[in-house]
Amino acid sequence: MATLGLGLFLGGSVIAIPVVTGIAEGVEHQKKQNEEAANETRMVKFNIHVSCDADDEIADEVDSGMLVLRHDRVWIVPRSPDGKQPLPPDPALKLDPPLHAFAGFYIQYPDDARFPAERGLVSTISDDPPMLNWIYVDNATYGLRYGNRSTSITHMVGEWDWTADESCMMLDGWEGFVAVDEWDGEDEDPGTPWGKEGLRWAVYFDKDDNGLKGRRKGRDMFEVQLERKLQSEEEQLKQLEDADKKMQVKSRGGLSTQFTAPAADRKAAWAKKGKK
Ligand SMILES: *[C@@H]1O[C@H](CO)[C@@H](O)[C@H](O)[C@H]1NC(C)=O
Ligand SMILES: *[C@@H]1O[C@H](CO)[C@@H](O)[C@H](O)[C@H]1NC(C)=O
Ligand SMILES: *[C@@H]1O[C@H](CO)[C@@H](O)[C@H](O)[C@H]1NC(C)=O
């Protein structure tokens, strides 16, 4: 049986993902996982647009938004007319660093303790240096967060999926995503780092399907749909080229290809299964 090795740079460290375990009774399952892991469709990079059907004026703030990653959380902000760029909720504020849109793909979460293995979700968290993090649901708050493997491993890291037509995000078999109002009510001198930047709507997963009972603290909440917007081949190619400038690409042929960073660039993170 061939071993499929995927080299991933996540949160600054190289992670080799063992896809074959060799457990006899798991072979059929494992085979399926190998095919899944080798499935390039799952690794096509996408952004996430948000839509919200709620019949409420303030729900308009989340409808037609897109996801960004900031302050360790996942936020909904307005998007540019072409749908490509996130816009600061307060146009008067110049954000430094600028907003970073979710741009990610599915890949198996590397953890032997999770059996069967779970399909995880990664996103870039910065382009320069290129860094990837896992997207996970915080066990205590049910808020969506991002972090490296050691940060995410004790939380809910999967199973991430898409809906039958592949158009929307699912987690744990359903689309239980909600937007929660994190505004602390202070117009003058907001007390939180996100408040100061005008960020207001954070994404949560309604894990127990009870409207975040006991976790919402009376804050406004709306059900949202997270729509996958595939990046064009041009966009993906451009990112690869940018990454190539920083990386030495080392191919081992066949199914497995690994991108290895020069030592000086170890902090940079980039993942891409290479076979074409
Ligand atoms: C890869 O994923 C696509 C989309 O779900 C599916 O149609 C295809 O059969 C998969 N291929 C393999 C080898 O699993
Ligand atoms: C993972 O992230 C945490 C929190 O940002 C950090 O303290 C830790 O050093 C990181 N671990 C690795 C292996 O990079
Ligand atoms: C988080 O929940 C998972 C099950 O979803 C559990 O296995 C894990 O121990 C929990 N971690 C913490 C830190 O509570």
Q: Which of 32, 33, 41 to mutate to test the pocket of ligand 1 (most atoms within 8 A of CB)?
A: 41
Listed as ranges, residues in the chain with pLDDT below 50 are 1-25, 248-276
Check if 244 has its Cβ closer than 6 Å to any atom of ligand 1: no
Q: Are 82 and 73 in contact (CB under 8 A)?
A: no
Give the per-residue pLDDT at 14: 40
Give the per-residue pLDDT at 212: 96
Q: Ligand 1: which atom is nearest the Cα of residue 42? A: 2
Q: Which of 139, 141, 159, 205 to mutate to test the pocket of ligand 3 (most atoms within 8 A of CB)?
A: 139
Tokens 């896809």, located at residue: 19
Give the per-residue pLDDT at 244: 64
Cβ neighbour number for residue 100 with a 10 Å cutoff: 17
Nearest alpha-carbon partner for 121 in 139, 141, 103: 103
Pocket of ligand 2 (CB under 6 A): 11-13, 147-148, 150-151
- End-to-end, the C-alpha distance of the chain in Å comes to 21
Q: Rounded distance, CA 72 to CA 85, Å?
A: 20
pLDDT digits (tens, 9 = 90+) for 226-248: 999 998 888 877 777 776 665 54
| 214 Cα: distance to centroid of ligand 1 (angstroms) | 39
Q: Which of 72, 148, 153, 155 to mutate to test the pocket of ligand 2 (most atoms within 8 A of CB)?
A: 148
Q: Are 226 and 175 in contact (CB under 8 A)?
A: yes
Closest CA to ligand 2's atom 6: 151
Give the CA distances from residue 258 to residues 47, 249, 273, in Å, rounded to whole numbers and listed in that order.
24, 7, 7
Tokens 């009972």, located at residue: 213
Q: Ligand 3: which atom is nearest the Cα of residue 155? A: 1
Closest ligand to Cα 158: 3
pLDDT digits (tens, 9 = 90+) for 147-181: 999 999 999 999 999 999 999 999 999 999 999 99
| 28 Cα: distance to centroid of ligand 2 (angstroms) | 35
Nearest alpha-carbon partner for 123 in 112, 110, 114, 136: 136
Element at 137 (helix H, strand E): strand 130-137
Give the per-residue pLDDT at 164: 96
Domain borders along the chain are: 1-38, 45-231
Q: Rounded distance, CA 172 to CA 263, Å?
A: 38
Closest ligand to Cα 34: 1
| 138 Cα: distance to centroid of ligand 3 (angstroms) | 9
Closest CA to ligand 1's atom 1: 39
Give the per-residue pLDDT at 31: 67
Closest ligand to Cα 165: 1
Give the per-residue pLDDT at 157: 97
| 8 Cα: distance to centroid of ligand 3 (angstroms) | 24
Give the per-residue pLDDT at 69: 98
Burial class for 141, CB neighbours closer than 10 Å (0-12, 13-18, 19+): middle
Give the per-residue pLDDT at 257: 33
| 235 Cα: distance to centroid of ligand 1 (angstroms) | 22
Give the per-residue pLDDT at 43: 86
- Tell me the two tokens of residue 215: 């976790």
